[in-house]
Amino acid sequence: MLFSKHALLVPFLARASLAFPTSNSSAPGKHDANSFDYVVVGSGPGGGPLAVNLAEAGYAVLLLEAGQNHTDKTSQQILAFFGEAQFDEEQGWFFYVKHFSNQTQAAKDSKMVWLKPDGEYWVGNDPPGGSTQLGLWYPRAGTFGGCDTHNGGVTVYPSEFDWDNIANITTDASWGHDQMRRYFEKLERNLVVAPRAPGHGFSGYQPIGVGGKENFEKDPQIVAVAQGSAAAFGFTERSKSNNWDVILKKDSNGIVEDRDFHNDAYQISFKKDERGRRYSAANRVSDAIAKRLPLTVRFDSLVTKVVVDEDLKATGVEYLEGTQLYKADPRVQKAAKSNTGVPRSVTATREIIVAGGTFNTPQILMLSGIGPAEELNKFNIPVVVDLPGVGKNLQDHYEVPVIQEFPNNFTLFDGCDLVDGVSPCYEEWKKGTGPYTTLGFTQVALFTSSVAPRGERDLILYGSPDAIRGHLPPYTNFTRFKTGSNKFTFTISESHSRNRAGAITLTSADPREMPDINFEYFANGGDEDIQGLADGVAFARKIFDSALERNATTGEYYPGRDISSQESVREYVKDEAYGHHPTGTASIGGDEDPLAVLDSSFRVRGVKGLRVVDASIFPVVPGTFPLIAVFMVSEKASDVILQDAKRLDM
C-alpha cells in the first residue's frame, strides 16, 4: 500500500462518491439472451475497449466479467489511492507467485509470504517453525475494468522495438512502430502538450495528463530530488531552476528524434481526466452502456471453458454465475472454501475473444483443452489442440527500490487527513485541484544501462515521496518503515528483461483453483539483467547524492550504503527484485515458432473463431509500463476483427 496514511479516508469518501449500477445491460440487439455475435471474456484494457468498438460497429456483444462493478469506490476514482484499491478484498484477487523454483533462494526475499501453522500469514526471512512458503504477494484486480482500476495509470509510450519485433517475427508490416503509433493517437486525449504536438491525440476517449506543478513546487524536498535528477543527467541549468516545468520535461510520449536512445528526466504521465479522476476501461464500457449500444455486461461470471465443436470452431463459453468463486479472491482464501456457482452457457455466432489477462487467459485456454497436451493429460482434460506455448513465456519487468531518508516530512499530502468528517484535499479534488489529482509519484527518469539491448534506454526510475519496498499483503506482521512520511523511493524497473523461462501451469481441472505461477527469475540472461538493475541502483544513488549536496537528504534508508560493492548490490538485486507487469503467456509468433500461441491477427492457432487480446499476447514484455500498449493492442484487434467481419459479410 503506497499511501497508508489515507486509509481511514476511504470508507468516508466511498460513501460520498457517485453511485454506479451493479449490473449493466444495453438495449437489446439482434440476439436472444444466450446468443450474441461476439463474446468477450474480461473487461480490462484488452477486452473492455474492444467490446465497445465491436458494439459501436453495430454487433451484438456480450462482455463477461468475473468480478463486480466497483467504479463507485473512491479508491478507484482517486489515483493516489490505488494502493487502497489493491488492498480492497471486494476488488482484488490475491495471487502468491514464485520467483524461483529453488525455495532456499526464494526465501532470501524479505517480502516472502509464509502460512504459519495457526493459519495466519507471516512476511520475512525468519518465519516461525512449521511455516509453509506461499510465495510473493501479487495483487490483481478481480473487478469490472480489470487491473486498469487499481494500477497507477502510468502511461509511457512503448519503444519502437516493441512493435517492430512483432512485425519482424510475423512478417506482418501492420505491426510496425509507425503503423502502431496511430492507435495511440486515436485513443489519446492529451491534456498537457501543445495542440498538434507530433505523435499525440487530442480527441480520443482516454485522457492523459501530469500531476501539476502547483502540487509539487510547494515542497522543497520534492523539488530538490527533481533537481538532482536533472543534475545526474548533466542538465546543469535545469538543475538550478525551481520551476517544475523547467527541471522536468513534460512529454515523455511524443515523437522526437532518437527517442528510445535519449536519457532524460520527465514529469510522470498518467491516465486522468480533466477533473483529475481515473478514467479506466470500466469507464469506457460504462459510457458505451449509457449510449444504449448493443453491448451487454454480465458480472459475477467466471468463465470455465471455451466450447469448441468438431470442426475446431469456437462456438460459445461456459461459465459459473456467482460471487466469491475463484480462490484468488481473498475472502475465499480466508474462508478456505469457495462458492460453487450456477453453471451457465452462451453462444457466439461470430467469434469469442479471451481477454482474461496474463494469469487467467492461459488457464481458460488450458481448461478448454487448448494447450500443452502433456499438461492437459495430467488432469484428464480432453486435448482439443496441442498448443505447447500456452502458459509459457511468462515475463515481467524486474524492479528494485532505493529509499532515501530526508530531514523533514514531505508535505505533498499535508492537511489531507480526515478531521471531523471533512478532508480538505477531498474537497479540492471534487473541484479538480489539489494533491489528490496527482498520482503521488512525482517523476520518472529514463536511463541507459551498461548492458542495454540494442543500445537503447532500458531502465526507468520512478520516484515517490514514500517508502516502497515492493508488494506486501495487507494482513501481515510486517511493519512498513514507520509511515514513510520522510522517505523518498526511486523504484528501478528494467524495460526488456531477457528471461523467457517463466510459466503458468494448472494445479487442477477445477476452474476455481488458481494456477501455479513461476517466473523463474533470472533463468535466461540473468547476469545482464542483474547488472542492468545494479546500474540503476547506482544512478538512483547519484540522484540522491546530488540532492544531498543541496542539503536536502540525510542518507540512504534502504538497502543502505553498506551494500555498495558490485557483488553486494548484485546480490541485493537478485534477492529482492519483484515485478507487477506480467505478460507473454499466449504470445504472438511466427508460423515456424513452436511456442507461438497466436498469429499476427490474434487468432489462436488451430481453432477458428477464437482470439486473445490482452497483455498475454506480447512475445517480449513491452517497456516500460505495458498499460498503454495493451490499450493500443485492443484498438488494433478491433480493426482486425471488424475487417474480417466485413469480408465475411460481403
Residue 440, phi then psi, degrees to nearest 5? 95, -35
303 labelled ligand-binding: yes
39 labelled ligand-binding: no
Return d(Cα 191, Cα 418) in angstroms, integer: 30
Rg of the chain taking only CA atoms, in angstroms: 24
Dig out the grid coordinates for 140 from the structure. 490483481
Return d(Cα 62, Cα 296) in angstroms, integer: 5
Residue 115, phi then psi, degrees to nearest 5? -105, 115
183, 635 contact by CB (below 8 A): yes
Question: In 10 A of CB 240, how many CB atoms?
Answer: 12
Residue (of 529, 537, 531) closest to 563 by Cα position: 537
Pairing of strands 35-41, 61-64: parallel
Q: Is 352 helix (H, G, I), strand (E, B) or coil?
A: strand
250, 266 contact by CB (below 8 A): yes
DSSP H stretches of helix in 82-204: 82-87, 103-106, 160-170, 177-187
∠ at Cα 586 (580, 587), nearest 5°?
90
Residue 329, phi then psi, degrees to nearest 5? -65, 120
62, 29 contact by CB (below 8 A): no
Length of the chain: 650
Return d(Cα 518, Cα 576) in angstroms, integer: 16
380 labelled ligand-binding: no
113 labelled ligand-binding: no
415 labelled ligand-binding: no
Question: In 10 A of CB 372, how many CB atoms?
Answer: 21
428, 524 contact by CB (below 8 A): no
Please enumerate, by residue number, every residue annotated as part of a binding site for FAD: 151-154, 303
Please enumerate, by residue number, every residue annotated as part of a binding site: 151-154, 303
